[in-house]
Chain A
């Protein structure tokens, strides 16, 4: 059974850093495109970043240069390192599994809440 479990969400001050993790089971994260998608309170879905199965990465303009996505094959985990956090980064962050060669999302985690506030 495919499962994605996010951890690491917290309250952080503007300018601070946070590291989110997504533990995967039932498949190998290295076999699929893996993304982070966020949802600000009461708002719609926003794609944040992808780690392609081949190793390349891509980011939304809103987080480019501040967030870094990575993958730990040994732990079967996806990670999002978030630096220079802003109030507008406040959201529930979802880990989502893409298809093997397309970036639509067939499995999602339960989400982890990041709140950026002083």
Chain B
């Protein structure tokens, strides 16, 4: 099975900050990587697929990059609605594993 490791597990930041979350796969997954945002009590929301392809309706302050085993999600200028938990997921092969999540909190 492919293991997905996110860092950090939690992050405190302020509105307007630039933040980066990393995701590492235990083996080469090409660009078969998605990112999701989840708010408490809600279903996850797709942000990116194919590592860097922005899902329709997602603000452009979000960006995704990487290929192979190392990936990043960057938010260029944090907005109040961005405080949430973020997950990466590989869809290269079953089982389709998620990272453990990164909780982004207000400083």
Mark A residues whose CB is within 8 Å of B. Answer: 35, 44-47, 50, 58-61, 94, 98-99, 102-106, 108-111
Contacts and interface: CB of A to CB of B under 8 A. Distances in A.
Contacts of B89: 45, 47, 104-105
Contacts of A99: 49
A52 to B, nearest CB: 10
Nearest to A47: B96
A98 B89 CA distance: 12
A61 B89 CA distance: 17
A59 B95 CA distance: 7
Interface stretch (B20-28, B74-82, B97-105): B97-105
Nearest to A107: B46
A117 to B, nearest CB: 21
B98 A46 contact: yes
B83 interface: no
Given A99-B49, A106-B55, A111-B43, A44 B91 contact: no
Select the residue from A45, A94, A99 with max chain B CB neighbours within 10 A: A45
B43 A108 contact: yes
A50 B46 CA distance: 18
A5 to B, nearest CB: 12
Nearest to B33: A104
A58 B1 CA distance: 13
Contacts of A94: 43-44
A60 B34 contact: no
